[in-house]
Amino acid sequence: MTSHRKFWWLAGSLVCVLGAPAGAAEHTVHMLNTSKTGQGNMVFEPAFLKVAVGDTVVFKPTDKGGHNSVSTFLPPGAKAWKSGTDAELKVVIEKEGVYLYECFPHRVMAMVGVIQAGKPTNLADAKAAADKAKTAFAMNKDRLDKALSQVQ
């Protein structure tokens, strides 16, 4: 291998190694028509997830039912997301704080979830956003509050 090729191979290897946070974990949130844990119909399980900054959250359409995952409230500077219908989506959590998300087609049924990354620096704002979001729920009106109550 020429020295020029060695340089680019080494540079590419360093980018791969240094680009991924050390110890970053992957978490799965299942999009379900019916809860496996007794939470009702049209749910994300788990509805609350505590992760570290740099972790990946995989939204998995375990049950096909017209589900998606759409961010509705984010910490400042965080990237919004929106999956396709019944499509898996991987989201790298890059900012500390509280994230809220929903399945847009099943918003009325309160198919919602909460992610906490690190310290809940924006919890008061997340609760205010949740209060607004709940006005669109026809059922399961306490689901978002239950998930937010787990934030510490």
Q: What is the CATH number of the domain that holds 125?
A: 2.60.40.420
Tell whether 10 is covered by a domain: no
The answer to whether 91 touches 75, Cβ cutoff 8 Å, is: no
The answer to whether 76 touches 38, Cβ cutoff 8 Å, is: no
The Cβ-side half-sphere exposure at 7, using a 13 Å CA radius, reads 3
- pTM reported for the whole predicted model: 0.85
Tell whether 125 is covered by a domain: yes
Tell whether 78 is covered by a domain: yes
If one counts the domains in the chain, the total is 1
Domain that holds residue 41: 24-148
DSSP letter (8 states) at residue 33:
E
Tell whether 42 is covered by a domain: yes
Tell whether 51 is covered by a domain: yes
Tell whether 115 is covered by a domain: yes
Please report where in the chains the tokens 């961010």 appear, as a residue: 71
Tell whether 108 is covered by a domain: yes
- Tens digit of each residue's pLDDT, the chain (152 residues): 555 444 333 444 433 444 445 679 999 999 999 999 888 999 999 999 999 999 999 999 999 999 999 999 999 999 999 999 999 999 999 999 999 999 999 999 999 999 999 999 999 999 999 999 999 999 999 999 999 999 99
Tell whether 4 is covered by a domain: no
